[in-house]
Structure 1
C-alpha cells in the first residue's frame, strides 16, 4: 500500500528551530550554566542551542571557587605551525583549558604560592595523587613534568612541573638555571603532545617563590615555546598555549616577551600559516575581533570556513566551492550530499582544509527580492552556530560579489551582520573576511572604517545594523533559547526536556545506566556540588537512577552537572569502543543513516506494522556501518554461521547515533524487567518490544531493527551475565538465551548488526 500525498506531507519532517522563552528563575539558572546546558543539548539531542538575552557567568564546573580576577586576554598571535600563543591575566584556579601547569617542587608538596592555591581548590585528590606518585617513583628532578588528575579544578589534567629554584644566599648560576627552565618548558610541551591536549595554561614558572628573575623567565618561556613548535617534528599540535598569571608584573613581562620574540617575524593577528596579510588593524567590537585580509579562503587556519553553494549541493559550481573542493578532496562533496540541514546551514568536516568544520550556506540561491535580507541572516546564522559550538574563529569569503551583489553592498551587509552579532556575543570570536581582489578589498576596508567610526561614537546601537528590509531581526524582548536541530522531533524532544528540567519543583530523577561508569573523579565532583542538594543513587532491576532533591534552582544546577558528567563518560566510552572496532575491522569507523522515502513500498509495509500497535511511523532510516558489518560477519563465523533473526530494540533518542556508530551495548536499553539475564535484549515484534520496554510518557518512541545472531539458545533466567553452559564443559556455552518466543538476549554486542531506525509517535 502506497501512502497518499497528503499523508506523505504530514509525515515528512524538516529541520527547523524552536524558540524557548526564559522567565523568572530559569533566567538565573541559564545565566549560571548556559555553556553546560548547550553542551548537554548537543550531546543528548544533536541540537544546537543559541542563548540570547542572558548575561552569562562562568561555566558551572568553574563555580567551585568564584574567580577573583575577571580573565583578560592581553595578547595573541599564531606561530607558523598554526599553534596560537596568548597572554592572559586570570586566576588559574578558575581558568578554562584542557590542562593547567603547576609550579611544583621535587617532592610534590603543594604548600605556598600557586601550588597551594591549586591544591586547595582542586580538593584532597591533588595532594593524595602526588603523594602516591612520589611513593611509587621517588622524587622528581628539576626540569621534569608529570601529568595527574586535576581533581575539582576546571581542567582535564594538571601538569606538575619542577622549575629551577635560585637562592639569594649564594651566587646563583643564572646560565644553568636558564637551561633548566628551558628543559622544564620542553617537558611540559612533551606532556601536551603525549596526552594530545588542545589547550594548556602555563604560569611564569620559577619566578615567584623560586626567585628566578621575572624578565628572563618570560623571555625563556616564550622563546622555548617558539623553538619547540618551529621544529615541526611533533605528531600532535595543540590549539593554544596560554601564558596565564594573576599579577600585573608577570602579565606585562609575558606580553613584552611575546611582542619582542614572536611579532618580530609575524603579523600580530591570526594564522601565520595562512596566505595574505591584514593591511589594516583589526576592528574590536565587544568580544568580536573583525579581521580583513587578502588571501585564499581555502588556505585559512580558522576553526570554521564558510562556503556558499546552491540547493543542488554541487560543489563543482562556483569559485569558492570549487577552490574548497579541490583543497579538501572528494570526501567534502560526499559529505555535503549526505549531511542533514541545520537551519540554513550544512555542516561538514574540513578534511584536508586547515579548519575543523565547513559551513555551507545557500544565501544567494533565492529571489532578488530577498537577497539582501538572506545574506544578512545567513552570515548571522553562521556566527551564532559557530559560537554555540564553541568555535573561536570563522572565515568568510566575499559572498555573492561575483554575480549577485555589488562589492559595496556585500561589504555593508556582511559587516553589519558581524556588528549585530557582536552586540550579544558572550565569548571571544575572531571573524575573518578573506578577499582575493583589490577592488573588493577596498570596499570592505571602507566599510570597516565606517564601523570604526560608529564604535568610537557609541557602543554599536541597533541603528544601521539591522537586516536590510522591513522585517528586522530585533533583540528578543525576553531572554530565550533558540534550538536548531536535524528534525522537528529532535527539537521537540529537546524542548520537552528543557521544560521539565527548568520547571522542576526540587526533585530530579536521571535514568541512565552510564551512571554505573562513575569513578573516583565523578564522585569527587558530586561531593563538591551544592550541599543543599541531596543525591541518592539506586540500581533496581537493571536500571541505574540518580535522584536529586533540594531547592529548585540548586537541584537544576546539580542535575545539569550530572548530565554533563554523563555526556563526558559516554564520549569516552564511544571513543574507546570505536578504537577497538577499528582495530578488529581494520577500517575507519564511520556510519551513515539514510532516510527511506515515505512513498516507497518498504516504508508503507512498516507503517502498517507499527500502526497495528497504535504507533504512527514518522521516519525510517537505514544504517550503514562497514566496520560493524565486518565485525558482525567475523562473529557469525566464530559462531559457526549460526542462525540469525531480524529483531527490534526500543532505545532512547540519545543512543540512536551511538548504536549506529559502535553497535549495541547493555547500557543503552535495559528492559523494564531483566527476567532472562543481564544482557542485551531484543524483541521479535513491535507488540513484544512495547512490553519489554515500558513507555515512560515519551512523545516519540525509537526502535532499532537489527540482525541478531541467536544461534543455539537456552531459556533465560534472572542474574545471568553469560549464556549457560552446554553440557559439562563450562567453555562451551549457548549463543543466546530467550524468554518465550518473542524475546532474545545476547551477551556480546557484536552478535547484532543495526539495520534500520524507526521514529514513531503515539496515535
Structure 2
C-alpha cells in the first residue's frame, strides 16, 4: 500500500461529496483502482441512499502476507467502500430483515430480482454456500450472498458445534469467490451472529480462524486482497478486534497511525494543478478543528494511480456551470441508466445531454456549479459500470475463442459466460467452484449437481495449450525500461523531453494466441507501434486488448506534444492505427492527467488499400464480399480488428519535463 494521507476538504467540496459519496468512491475505484474513504462526513442523502451519519472507523489492521491484509472497521456496510460486500443471506435469498434488507433497500429492487432469478434456477442456496450478484446502487461492484448457519435463540453447545463447520464453509466460499472473480477488497460482517443467533464471540473466532486457514492452504493463490471485517455496532466490533489480536497478533504500525488525527498532504512541486488542489484542501483546516474536518483518504498500490485519482477528484470538485464527460461507453448505457439520468436531472436541477459525434461519445451537464459537480460524479460512476460490463463481456468472448469448457450432460455450460467463469477459476488454481446448483471439481474434472449426480467436464484448448499467468490469463509486471524498451523507443521519448517513470510488461495469453493466428493467416511481419491512452484504460487494455471504446479521437495537432506513432481514431464500428511522425494533442481528459500513458504494441497491417475517414469496414478485394483488405493506408495504417494489435508494455512518462 502507498502512504496513507487524509486530505482536508474545503466546505464546498465536502458539501458536494455528502450528496454523491457512493458514486465518487466507485468512480475512483473503477478508473484508477484506487480506494477513496471519506471521514467526518454527515451523509446528506446521496442518490439512492438513506440519510444518516457515516463515520468509517478503522480499528485494526495486519497483513497475513504482502498481498493479503485484514482490517477491522466500525462502519455502515451499505456505505462501506470496497469492491464487494457480503450479505448475511438465508437459503431462499429473501432479503426481508436485518443486514439483508438494509443492503437490498440501499442497492435497489434489482438486488432482490437478481436473487430471485438465482432461486428460480437452484431452489435454494445451501447453508455454508454463497452466490454472487451485481450490487445495484451500492458503492461496490458485487454482493456476495453468504448463507451462514441459523440457530435458535440461546443455542446449546451441541447446536453450536453442529453449526460451526457451516460457518467455516461460508467464510471459505466468500474468499473463494473473491479469488475467482479477482475481487481486490471484500467487506465481511459477523455472519450468523445477528438474527441467526450464533454467539458473537465464537463467531468472531471462527471467522478469523477460517481466514487464516484459507491463507495457510494457499487459497489466495498470490492474489491481492483486502479483507475488511465490518460491523456497525460497538460490541461486535470489539469482539472482532479481540479475536484478531488473539489469533493474528498486534496490528501493523500503519494501522495504528491511520486514524491518529494527523492530517498530512503530499504535494508535487512540478504540478501547478496539484499544488492548486493542495492549497485548496489545506485551507479547510483553518476553518474547523482537526477532529471535525471532513477529509478524503486514498489507498492504492501505485503512487501514479493515487496521484491521478487525487487530481481527478479536484477537477470534479472545482465547480463549473458546464462539464463534459467524454467516454465512448455511453453507447452501452441501458434503459435503467437513462431513467437514472432523468432522476439526476430532477434531483440536482441540471440538464444532462448525451452526444455521439465524430467517433466521440460522452455526456454534457449544465446547471449551477455545485449541482453540476454532483451530477457529473454520479454520471462518471454510471459510465464506469457500463465500461466494466463491456470489458467483462469482451473478456468472456476472448477466452471463449481460445478455450472452452463443456459437459455432455449439461450443454448449457458451453456458453461464453459460464465457460469464462470456469476458466478463470481453473487458472486461479481453485480446487472447485460452485455456481447455480452445480459444483465443478477441477482435479477430477467432474460436475456435481444438487442431487449428487456426477458428470464429466472437459476443457478444450482450441489453439495451443493454455497456461496461467500469475493465476490468470493476463498479467502486468514492472520491468526495467533499459532491459525492456528498445533504444529507438527510449530515444524518441527523450527527444521530446519525457522522463520514463515506470514500465510494465503486459501479457495476455488468450489475446496472444488470437494475434499469432492472425499473423499466420496474414503472413505479415508485425510492426512495433505506440498508442497513447488514458489512465483509466491501462488495465482494461491488458485484459482485452485495444478496443475502439478505449480511445476517443485526438484533438488538433500540437507540435509540442509527443509524436505518437500510433493513434486510434474511433467511429463506433472501427479503430484507426496510424503510423507516422504526426504530432497529436491529448484528449480533454488526458490534458488533466499527471502522466502520459503509452502502450507499446505489435501490429499486423497486412494487405492495405486506400480508404476514407468514415469507413465502417475495409473495402472488398475485387468486389468479393468475404475477401477484404486487412487495413486502410490513408494517413497511415487503419485496422478494423483488435486481434491485429497485441499490447507488449505500458510506458508511464512524466510529462512535466516536456518542452
For the aligned pair, the TM-score class normalised by the smaller chain equals 0.5 to 0.7
CA contact (8 A) 2:8 2:294 kept: no
Residues 89 and 146, structure 2, Cα contact 8 Å, conserved in 1: yes
Q: Residue in 2 aligned with 1:619?
A: 498
8 Å contact kept, 2:58–2:72: yes
- Structure 1 position 91, deviation (Å): 2.5
The residue number in structure 2 matching 1:246 is 232
1:181-200 → structure 2 map (5 Å cutoff): 181-196=164-179, 197-200=183-186
Residue 104 (structure 1) aligns with: 89
Name the residue aligned to 1:547: 364
The change in CA–CA distance for 1:592 and 1:558 in structure 2 (over 3 A counts) is: farther
**Which residue number in structure 1 is paired with residue 260 of structure 2?**
288
C-alpha displacement of 1:104 = 2.4
1:454: which partner in 2? Answer: none
Offset at residue 220 of structure 1 (A):
3.8
- Conserved 8 A contact 1:33-1:57: no
Q: Deviations over 1:40-93 (max 9, x none)?
A: 789979999999xx9666799898334446444566667799966555443222
For 2:321 and 2:592, the matched residues in 1 are separated by 23
Out of 637, 643, 654, the position equivalent to 1:744 is 637
Secondary structure at 1:101 match in 2: strand
Could you tell me how far 1:126 is from its partner in structure 2?
Answer: 0.9
After TM superposition, give the deviation of residue 200 of structure 1 in Å: 3.8
Q: In the TM superposition, what is the alpha-carbon distance from 1:717 to its structure 2 partner?
A: 5.8
Residue 520 of structure 2: aligned partner: 638
Q: Please tell me whether the aligned partners of residues 607 and 631 of structure 2 are also in contact (alpha carbons under 8 angstroms).
A: yes
Residue 158 of structure 1, CA deviation = 1.9
1:218 maps onto 2:201 in alignment: yes
- Whether contact under 8 Å (1:126, 1:149) holds in the other structure is yes
In 2, the alpha carbon distance for the partners of 1:76 and 1:48 equals 16
- Report the Cα distance in structure 2 between the residues aligned to 1:702 and 1:106, rounded to whole angstroms: 47
Aligned-pair CA distance for 1:135? 1.1
Change (3 A) 1:239 1:736: closer
In the TM superposition, 1:447-596 aligns within 5 A as 501-518=316-333, 531-532=347-348, 533-564=350-381, 589-590=476-477, 594=481
Q: How does 1:225-240 map to 2 (within 5 A)?
A: 225-227=208-210, 229-230=212-213, 232-236=216-220, 239=225
Alpha-carbon distance between aligned partners in 2 of 1:682 and 1:81, rounded to the nearest angstrom: 40
Question: Residue in 2 aligned with 1:668?
Answer: 550
Q: Secondary structure at the match of 2:173?
A: helix
Distance 1:681 1:543 in 2: 13
Aligned to 1:349: none
2:325 aligns to what SS in structure 1? strand
Moved more, 59-68 or 576-585: 576-585
TM-score (norm 1): 0.52
Asked whether the 8 Å contact 2:45–2:51 carries over to 1, the reply is no
Find 2:628's aligned residue among 733, 746, 750.
Answer: 733
Partner residue in 2 for 1:269: 251
Distance in 2 (CA, whole Å) between partners of 1:175 and 1:39 is 44
Look up the match of 1:143. Answer: 128
Contact 2:200/2:236, CA 8 A, preserved across alignment: no
- SS of the equivalent of 2:354 reads strand
Give the aligned partner of residue 90 of structure 1.
75
The question of whether the paired residues in 2 share the 8 Å contact of 1:651 and 1:669 is answered with yes
Structure 2 length-normalised TM: 0.59
Q: Does 1:25 align with 2:8?
A: no
Alignment-derived partner of residue 574 in structure 2: 679
C-alpha offsets along residues 117-174 of structure 1, whole Å, 9 cap, x if unaligned?
2211110111111111111111233333222222212233223233444557xx9776
Instruction: State the match for 1:477 in structure 2.
Output: none
Spell out, residue by residue over 1:671-729, the C-alpha distance to the aligned partner (whole angstroms, 9 max, x if none).
48979983221345456x769x9999969999988765332224446775543443576
Superposed, 1:194-209 pairs within 5 Å as: 194-196=177-179, 197-209=183-195
Q: Residues 101 and 200 of structure 1 are in contact (CA less than 8 Å); yes or no, is this contact kept in structure 2? A: yes
Aligned residues of 2:479 and 2:505 also touching (Cα < 8 A): yes
**Per-residue Cα deviation, 1:478-509 (whole angstroms, up to 9, x for no partner):** xxxxxx969xxx99x996x7776444433211
Partners of 2:87 and 2:100 within 8 A in 1? yes
Q: Call closer, same or farther: CA 1:515–1:507 in 2, change over 3 Å.
A: same
User: Secondary structure at the residue paired with 2:551?
Assistant: coil
Structure 1: any 5+ residue segments left out of the alignment? 1-19, 272-281, 291-341, 345-383, 385-420, 431-483, 609-616
Residue correspondences, number: 526
* 1:186–1:198 Cα change, 3 Å: farther
Which of structures 1 and 2 has the bigger CA Rg? 1
Q: Which runs of 5+ in 2 are unaligned?
A: 1-6, 270-277, 279-289, 403-426, 428-464, 470-474, 555-567
CA distance in 2, matches of 1:50, 1:180: 36
Return the alpha-carbon distance in structure 1 between the equivalents of residues 573 and 353 of structure 2: 23
Q: Secondary structure at the match of 1:110?
A: coil
C-alpha contact 2:147 2:170 (8 A) present in aligned 1: no
The alpha carbon displacement at 1:540 in A equals 2.8
Secondary structure class of the residue paired with 1:127: helix
